[in-house]
Structure 1
Amino acid sequence: MRFLMKIATMLCGVIYPMLTLPHSAAASELVGVREIAAPSKERGGDLAVTIWYPAETGGKPVTLGENAFFVGTDAMLDAPISRGEYPLILLSHGAGLGGTPQAMSWIATPLAKQGFVVAAPTHPGNGGMNRSAAETMKLWLRPTDISATLDTIEQLPLLEKRLVAGRTGILGLSMGGNTALALAGARIDPIRLAGYCDTNALNPSLCEWVRQSGIDLHAMDMELAGRNNRDVRIKFAMVIDPALADVFQTNSFSMVTIPVEIVNLGKPGAIPQTALASGIAKAISKSTYSLIEEASHYSMFGKCKPGAAQLAVSEAIGEPICSDGEGQSRLEIHKRLIAIATQAFNRALKPAL
């Protein structure tokens, strides 16, 4: 598993601004998007939160997640929310190139079209212009970002009488999958996390970045790393290729009582150990596990623009950011992941609707 930190280093000029004018949106299936702030005591400031929701006509057309490499996704900025009540999906993004909520718009927007409100905080330091190896490795702070976001969402005037009580789930991709498991009740093992980059065996790209940044994980204050970050308001978790899946306390998975759906990307034997979650699925009592063999970890990023692979080579990124598995395009893989997520969240959060 690689986190594409070299890409994050050179993307400062291409990721931002994150909202740009797009093609016209389909009036019959509009998705609104808003940016709000969620106070976080643990972070000592506000979190930037992106919200996608079923929308009525209005607002300003925008494209989210577009940059020099990837195609973006259309939405309507500040559009009125459609009448009705919707379950809530909290979304946790990955690190590096996937280190912004907007990078996950390819899956958040279709979920909003299917009748969900999706809310994703920006995990500070995990990507974009303010990336930080030290902050990225503080995995125990990420779940609190989600809980702080939920605190704000529950009081947000925009969503007053628009959320179905008790119908909240979480979707985590890559390092966000680690976050989702923690919110479900799994606990980080501080000793395993401290030793994660002792060699390059687990994650060469990430650990090279950590060392180049002068970070000694053994010297990092991990007093809170092993705490319980479970949020009982979350009733279902979906995890896609959870990054640093191997830093949890193994016995803590038996404490996870909510249903968890886990998806790994790649063929058996080809999935990096640090993202392999088949053992985790076996240890969680209410879990399902599946593979998309035609995919790779890179499949969680946006659809590549023409020439993106060549641009990556010319920029000496050193990562096959446009490479998937064999047999299906990235767009087809995205469609499968969207279908799996839609079915899972419909089943978990809409049974009584």
Structure 2
Amino acid sequence: MLRHCLTTLLALAATWAQANVGLTQLKPVGADGPVTVFYPTAAPEQSVKRGPFELKLAPDAPPARGNGRLVVISHGSGGNAWVHSDLARALVNAGFVVALPRHQGDNAQDPSTPGPESWKIRPAEVSRAIDAVAADPRFAAIVSFEQVGMYGMSAGGHTALTLAGGRWSPGQFRRHCEADIANDFASCVGLATRLRGDFLDDLKKGLALNVIRHRFDDDTWYVHTDPRIRVIVAGVPFAADFDAASLATPQVPLGLVTAGRDKWLVPRFHSDAILAACAPRCELVAHLPAAGHGALLSPPPPPHVLGEIAQDLLGDPPGFDRSVLPEVDARIVAFMRRHLLP
């Protein structure tokens, strides 16, 4: 009996691994952005141009039945669906349907309101992305929406930690920057400027703190839960504005992916702080000691589309080998399978 079950599972896994990847985009509801969906299909793939990326996909092909589960991916600040398409493909090859909402005011087409303004609305956008997939008859027939997985990277990792039961506050963001702006400047200021070790650094820090104190004087704790989400992975998350104690016992199985040479979100203030708070009730899915913040963007944005500061913060450090990333994707997929599939 065990041998028969194992043979069946291996056969199913082989079928999914051979499935092509379909692509469709669901229309937004209200002010929401569109939801990009990757899914298993038997239709042939073709070259698809999306921004600077050339991808192999099957646009608007009929979906094939996979494992019956949905995973939602939340992109980082200024991001889009395409920089997570390698992970999406790995998930589709394991039988998952994958949905990526375009977060309002914090995406590649409209980066106007990153940070706490976006963090307040992102979790509900994830919930509405689940609703949008469930409302589409192509997917309603082949997916169960009672057990959904979620992955988020960077600002999307912040979204992931919120949905795992964490509470955060703009006031906590302000207090973090007041205490550690010199050591975590990029997380407080983003792409506006950077410290260069010259006489202007003190002026930059002072001006940044004046803006932060004015904009983020709200000490409200923000939370959002969705009972359909049963497992979460946060990749290099922004986390310094969380009440770490709120994640000591995550509401769902929580995994983290960390990068040892992250210059944008210095690990000791962000991912390492959350790991210290939630261990042993969370899991380090993967640690990349030689990786920078942008390692989990796969495929990575070409350098010519990034400005000087973004390239410095997102570019791979010397010596980092991207050939390890398929193994990271495989570990994320395995974590999702372990907690979502019987």
Same topology, TM > 0.5: yes
Q: Give unmatched runs, 5+ long, in structure 2.
A: 1-16, 194-203
The structure having more radius of gyration, on CA atoms, is: 2
* 2:265 corresponds to 1:265: no
List aligned pairs for 1:1-353, cutoff 5 A.
28-39=18-29, 45-57=31-43, 61-64=47-50, 67=52, 72-96=54-78, 99-133=79-113, 137-198=117-178, 199-204=181-186, 207=189, 209=191, 216-220=211-215, 226-243=221-238, 245-266=239-260, 272-273=266-267, 276-284=270-278, 286-289=281-284, 290-303=286-299, 311=304, 316-317=308-309, 319-320=311-312, 321-324=314-317, 326=319, 328-330=320-322, 332-350=323-341, 352=342
| AA matched with 2:160 | A
| AA matched with 1:250 | A
| AA matched with 2:316 | S
| Root-mean-square deviation (Å) | 3.3
Equivalent position SS for 1:86? coil
Distance 1:77 1:346, change over 3 A: same
- Asked whether the equivalents of residues 63 and 73 of structure 1 are also in contact (C-alpha less than 8 Å), the reply is yes
- Calculate the TM-score normalised by the size of structure 2: 0.78
Equivalent position SS for 2:144? strand
Match of 1:6 in 2: none
| AA matched with 1:161 | A
| AA matched with 1:62 | V
- Calculate the TM-score normalised by the size of structure 1: 0.76
Q: Give unmatched runs, 5+ long, in structure 1.
A: 1-26
User: Higher helix fraction: Structure 1 or Structure 2?
Assistant: 2
Q: In 2, Cα distance between the equivalents of 1:162 and 1:89?
A: 14
| AA matched with 1:280 | I
Distance 1:146 1:166, change over 3 A: same
Match of 1:19 in 2: none
Corresponding residue pairs, total: 308
Distance 1:312 1:144, change over 3 A: closer
Identity %: 23
My pick for the range that moved more, 170-179 or 52-61, is 52-61
My pick for the range that moved more, 119-128 or 50-59, is 50-59
Distance 1:295 1:82, change over 3 A: same
Q: In 2, Cα distance between the equivalents of 1:204 and 1:223?
A: 21
Q: In 1, Cα distance between the equivalents of 2:80 and 2:184?
A: 24
- Asked whether the equivalents of residues 32 and 125 of structure 2 are also in contact (C-alpha less than 8 Å), the reply is no
Shift of 1:106: 1.9
